[in-house]
Chain A
Amino acid sequence: KNEVEQSPQNLTAQEGEFITINCSYSVGISALHWLQQHPGGGIVSLFMLSSGKKKHGRLIATINIQEKHSSLHITASHPRDSAVYICAVRSGETSGSRLTFGEGTQLTVNP
């Protein structure tokens, strides 16, 4: 079992739909990151959070430390949101700042 698991692996939506991507992890963490990987390959950090909820534009990230679960929501999805979304955790143990990544969720938003 991977330390970080994402679901779904693939997601297809129609423009305007509300989207949720889930991330579960099995280790103690000090922070969780949501990243976006564009079709061209570049990776952009969307959120870093250790508790509660963060919002940036149409993106919302939540984390429940007790349940070891995080969700990334996209409201009013748009074709330009099509990308791979990756969850990564920074361990709270002595391994320092290394990130452990999920496999990613491929999102396709159709017009």
Chain B
Amino acid sequence: GAGVSQSPRYKVTKRGQDVALRCDPISGHVSLYWYRQALGQGPEFLTYFNYEAQQDKSGLPNDRFSAERPEGSISTLTIQRTEQRDSAMYRCASSFVKGEQYFGPGTRLTVT
């Protein structure tokens, strides 16, 4: 594709609901990354994949957060039982292995 795409761009959900955020990386990019960015701060690493294998999930804040990339392309970040503190911009990026990362537009999540 032309770039990394994410959907939805905006998501408002009630506390306690589950949300699924989607990332469609650049075609051919092996690595896919998920980051979270609070307002006024730099991004924070959550997890990353090479192909379908989750290489590092040490940045996931707790077990309500999970991610998958079953076919080595599209990835889904799922947050279960959302809390207000989960409100943030969730960004996805993709790259060749250890290459320059290309960022998607992000999903702005608001938990009310």
Task: Report yes or no: A101 in contact with B103, Cβ–Cβ below 8 A.
Answer: no
How many residue pairs link A and B with beta carbons under 8 A? The number is 62
- Are B100 and A101 in contact, CB atoms less than 8 angstroms apart? no
CB proximity of B52 to chain A, nearest CB, Å? 15
Main secondary structure of the interface of A (DSSP, over half): strand
Of the listed stretches A13-21, A43-51, A55-63, chain B binds: A43-51
Q: Are B41 and A96 in contact (CB under 8 A)?
A: no
B contact residues, total (Cβ < 8 Å): 27
Q: Which residues of A contact B (CB under 8 A)?
A: 30-31, 33, 35, 41-45, 48, 86, 88, 90, 95-104
The 3 closest A-B pairs by CB, nearest first: A101-B42, A43-B103, A98-B45
CB contact list, B29-72 vs A, under 8 A: 31, 33, 35, 41-45, 48, 50, 55-56, 58-59
Cα distance A90–B50 in the bound complex, in angstroms? 15
Asked whether B100 lies within 8 Å of A86 as measured between CB atoms, the reply is no
Shortest beta-carbon distance from A34 to chain B in Å: 11
Q: Is the CB of A95 within 8 A of B56?
A: yes
A48 to B101, CA, bound (A): 9
Given the known interface contacts A102-B42, A104-B42, the answer about A41 and B105 at a Cβ–Cβ threshold of 8 Å is yes
